[in-house]
Structure 1
């Protein structure tokens, strides 16, 4: 079981790397690859989900199957729909990775020090920092 978790972890990071490469280079092979990996990850994760999450997932899969059967959609559309939310997986995998890097490299303490220094000079508006950071991300 432990080796399965390791393989699925590698598959998740591989899918995210393919997604990021696809953003910059637009290679159709990568889109299909991370979509297939997303299907595999979804199927393997169903076993580990709580009952409420399984009900939601199966409800969405049934609704999606109904929509795709009612409206003419090809197999390519169905396949690519599984990879359409790869940005969320990338976010959940890479933010902790970058946070760990920042913490180990000492950037986190420098960032905290800079924010505290700015708060001493100006009124405290922590939401503004959040808006600025969000603006740079999008």
Structure 2
């Protein structure tokens, strides 16, 4: 009887030790995967901060050089504001002048390429693709300088 109960106790301990080691292994794996994810996130954060700092540095350099260029061109006094307006703003008169210029371009009847108007539409883009496929001339000499 005693020997039989010893076998039962041994079987009970061996089954529980298997479960015990299984639980230890599961806990270790969960901790390992959590540490691995934390390392990956930390590395990604470092990479993003380096990339962001690099972009910010480039923007600061570009902005500083643009300011130096503007300083060289701007004269002292009230002409500063006028110069900046002319430099950065497109006026309605400029748009009308461009439209007048475009309307005065004569395209001969012998030209068989696509006839485009800007801004381009999907139809114009299809015409350009077809003309390219058929190796037609693009007619860039009929396009204003601002369009090329």
Normalising by the residue count of structure 2, what TM-score does the alignment of the two structures yield? 0.28
Larger radius of gyration: 2
Normalising by the residue count of structure 1, what TM-score does the alignment of the two structures yield? 0.29
Point out the structure with the larger helix share: 1
